[in-house]
Structure 1
């Protein structure tokens, strides 16, 4: 783990970061500290820091031989495993720019992003081969993980590593950088560059989250997104080994990994946590998870019901990060925050500022008054890769969310600014209704959208996923909302689904709900 008492090591770390970026820098430090320590564990077994360092050297040489070098944009389309980690490390050592692709992409999305970002090479798992036809056969391709036939013309990462020297490489002329994509829930994802990031800036998490040192972290969240990647980097910096899920998330497998490795930390997105908790007491009791000290969740809101049930199951170990691809870290809710103020996303950690502004962009200081959330953090955002930018006020960047502070300074998210529904002249944010519904024991998930209405402009439509054995009664759902919220927040339509549409990071795809045939919902509408 980093030893800030040694000024020479701190200077070297800062220098390395300016050349290689944070990921290679943390690996180099950990390798110097103990090259024999386990860095990752995946379905092939463990790899030490020293092995990752040497294998990424060889991979970098192999990629260079195929024409991939400094300045090349490498698209990485991989699950969480050593192939993804080695791709990130080799690219950093070459000075190549890494574009982290979402494993949930459809072919057209993949092709559109690759064209916009000027992808010069793609490293991918063989399961995604069928998606790559639109990119073109002239783009160099390397398979990071082979679980089927090798397509003609594609190199294989294992072969490149075996065929090349593991000796250290000369430093690149300039750092390559990293591009993280937005969630893409409303269209083609935008690219957010991370060209200048110090590994020290990730330490702002430690102000609010007591991440263990020298232990084990189970990584269920995908590392192609900011949550997983940041916690992988910070986990290494703290001397932890990282245990990856076996290709795809499975809630029972996750519990087994925590129990088998006596993990102190679990990193998830909220939908994963929901699926774990929904396994029920009988399944949960089969696995000894008493080693857990931190469940780190980020990516979407956590309902008061889910935070309560998590505390009942695992104890007070849940830490909820409020962040976005653009603004990075904004706030962290501790177990105490969520116990005292259910639904809060907590307070900004050290180095972050959060403020709320009204429509005229006057700052709101009164507790309880809702406005647009603006954030400043140590991770700067200079604009999307297509030239567009987020709105900024007073040096703070718009998060795209609306929310409010309570009297104690805790932040609450009321919804996305573009999710607000105006029904009969009244403003409704879906999250309030959704949180009320998921608190019911017979409801696993709920989503609320606005649909066109002749009389009210928009009316509310609720989509509900029922618990096993529950019998859905649309009128009972409406009556429950009417008994707890204002009349204009009662959904006129209630539709029961087997599951809600989500992307690979667990974000709800509200546009997909809009596309569900209206006649399917009309049967649940009151007479």
Structure 2
């Protein structure tokens, strides 16, 4: 049965990638060349190589420095690869990037692949101790960074080489630090000699509960792209606005896929909701990649602002990285039509499920169904499978993109060959997955189990609530009590009594927060996840 399923998945995956235009039907030889490039240099160079075969003069990306073609990306990364090789970097090296979204980051990703170095993508929200901890654990030899992060890099030892990727006028930078643009200008841009082996790359977990763990990706298959393309209609030659940061799995996966499809990717270093909508309209983008917090800010602009921009070319709004509330699903459909796709996964398991616009309309907030070659199952705390609908269990995933263990040697739990996502959820009567929350976020209050996400989604539905988070705090009587942090909508005067009565009127009484704290903004990391540790440390 396993062999038959594998063959079926293979056949379906091939059909999906051909249908999306990832491999041109009339040029199977180009497909073979792309596979060879991916095997030799890794997924980043392999994706670019596929685009080069389609048309080297196509615009690969447009950032604040203007447009850059695929041929230009290839030449720049060749030159940088030679520069790094002359500095002693190679297949035994690890290069880390602390950059916002711009060409310097992209060229560095490609150059690392061309010298066979392992690439570590660092979170731009790191503080000095987090950065130093990751760099030490991952044995980083060199860091590519933007000038704005120079102060944070002071936490690193001098033995770690530095390369400057981006600087603004007036940035206080050390003139002795090599700049990527100078290295590129000083070295030949012809084809470089292949490395002994592809270096792979490391994604980092969000780090909302401590130092981020490293999830390595040493080998990826072109067929794995079908997991994104099966339920999301990304197509060859489109235009993508990349709002999500590339250092995060959401942005990285869709950026690499956009390259492989020969798309033009529009990127800005910092997210601004109004600018994002304007950029979509200006470049007639058909795809918008973001995390739910970004989508919330766009929708919150309101009909009057959104109506100023023609976004009718948008076919896909791709959201992933954190929970997507039912309220946000409905408001997005009202603003943009049925174009929202919700991908559920994690740094470790990669892709688990995808919800289509039709599914989000009929069941707002759903995580959808597994795409081709993915499997999702629920297990109880004893490791027994849960097959009944509407029964909550721990979510386990099998995916061709799942990792095999953290770089520090630790692993996630595995049952029946499936990897724990760390979340709990349930399937409804129609087989749609709903994520109920994180396993470690569960609050036991008065002997009852409460998952904050359910309460948070309900609060988000309230007209006077802009944002909300719920945590558990110690309580001598109940063990823990629920504390809600609420961001009021503009002009709203909602108070504690209204909030608690609203929850009691819609959920079991024990799920109502006993405390409500109104704040101006929830603390979030660069990918939009709530920093619950900061809320737990809240002092009145």
TM-score range, shorter chain: over 0.9
Match runs of 1:444-523 below 5 Å: 444-517=466-539, 520=540
Q: Provide the rounded CA distance (Å) in 2 between the counterparts of 1:52 and 1:5.
A: 26
Alignment of 1:185-264 (within 5 A): 185-245=208-268, 247-264=269-286
Shift of 1:211: 1.3
Please give the alpha-carbon distance, in whole angstroms, between the structure 2 residues aligned to 1:270 and 1:514. 23
Q: Is the 1:66–1:140 contact (alpha carbons within 8 Å) kept by the matching residues of 2?
A: no
Alignment match of 2:299 (pick from 273, 277, 285): 277
| CA deviation vs aligned residue, 1:427-453 (integer Å, no higher than 9, x gap) | 001111111101011111110000000
Once the two structures are TM-superposed, the CA of residue 339 in structure 1 deviates from its matched residue by: 1.1
**Alpha-carbon contact 1:293-1:317 (below 8 Å) kept:** yes
Q: Which residue of 2 aligns with 1:523?
A: none
Q: Which range is displaced more, 85-94 or 6-15?
A: 6-15
Partners of 2:86 and 2:144 in 1: CA distance: 15
Asked whether the 8 Å contact 2:63–2:103 carries over to 1, the reply is yes
Secondary structure at 2:38's aligned position in 1? Answer: helix
1:328 aligns with 2:343: no
Counterpart for residue 421 of structure 2: 399
Conserved 8 A contact 2:467-2:488: yes
CA distance in 1, matches of 2:223, 2:201: 17
Matched ranges for 1:43-442 at <5 A: 43-147=64-168, 148-245=171-268, 247-442=269-464
1:20 & 1:304 partners in 2: Cα distance? 41
- TM score, norm. by length of structure 2: 0.95
Structure 1 stretch 170-179 or stretch 138-147: which is displaced more?
138-147
Secondary structure of the corresponding residue to residue 149 of structure 2: helix
Q: Is the 8 A contact 2:141 2:159 kept in 1?
A: no
Match of 2:440, SS?
coil
Give 1:405 deviation, angstroms.
0.4
Instruction: Give me the whole-angstrom Cα distance separating, in 2, the residues matched to 1:4 and 1:71.
Output: 38
* Equivalent residue number for residue 35 of structure 2: 14
Specify every segment of 5 or more residues in structure 2 that has no aligned partner in the other structure, as ranges. Answer: 1-21
Deviations 1:370-426 (A, max 9, x none): 010000011131100000000000000000000000111100001000000000000
Offset of residue 153 of structure 1 = 3.3
- State the shift of 1:200 in Å: 3.0
Q: Shift of the alpha carbon at 1:4?
A: 4.3
**Farther off after superposition, 130-139 or 288-297:** 130-139
State the shift of 1:198 in Å: 2.1
1:237: Cα distance to partner? 1.9
Contact residue 472 and residue 496 of structure 1 kept, 8 A: no
Q: Deviations for 1:99-137, whole angstroms, at most 9, x for unmatched residues? A: 000000001100011011101000001111111112112
Deviations 1:56-87, CA, capped at 9 Å, x for gaps: 10011111122222221101000000000000
Structure 2 counterpart SS, 1:309: helix
Bigger mean CA offset, 198-207 vs 39-48: 198-207
Task: Determine if contact 1:203/1:234 at 8 Å carries over to the other structure.
Answer: no
Q: Secondary structure at the match of 1:461?
A: strand
Residues 145 and 163 in structure 2, CA contact (< 8 A), matched pair in contact too: yes
For residue 516 of structure 1, give the secondary structure of its aligned residue in structure 2. coil
Q: Distance in 2 between matches of 1:505 and 1:370?
A: 27
Aligned length: 517
The alpha carbon displacement at 1:2 in A equals 2.8
> 2 CA distance for matches of 1:152 and 1:42?
24
Question: How far 1:5 moved relative to its partner?
Answer: 4.3
RMSD over aligned Cα, in angstroms? 1.0
- Give the whole-Å Cα distance in 2 for the aligned partners of 1:128 and 1:187: 20
SS at match of 1:356: strand
**Helix, strand or coil at the partner of 1:511:** helix
**CA shift for structure 1 position 199:** 3.1
Return the alpha-carbon distance in structure 2 between the equivalents of residues 29 and 238 of structure 1.
Answer: 8
TM-score (norm 1): 0.97
CA drift of 1:32 comes to 2.3
2:49 aligned residue: 28
Contact 1:55 1:161 in 2 (8 A): yes
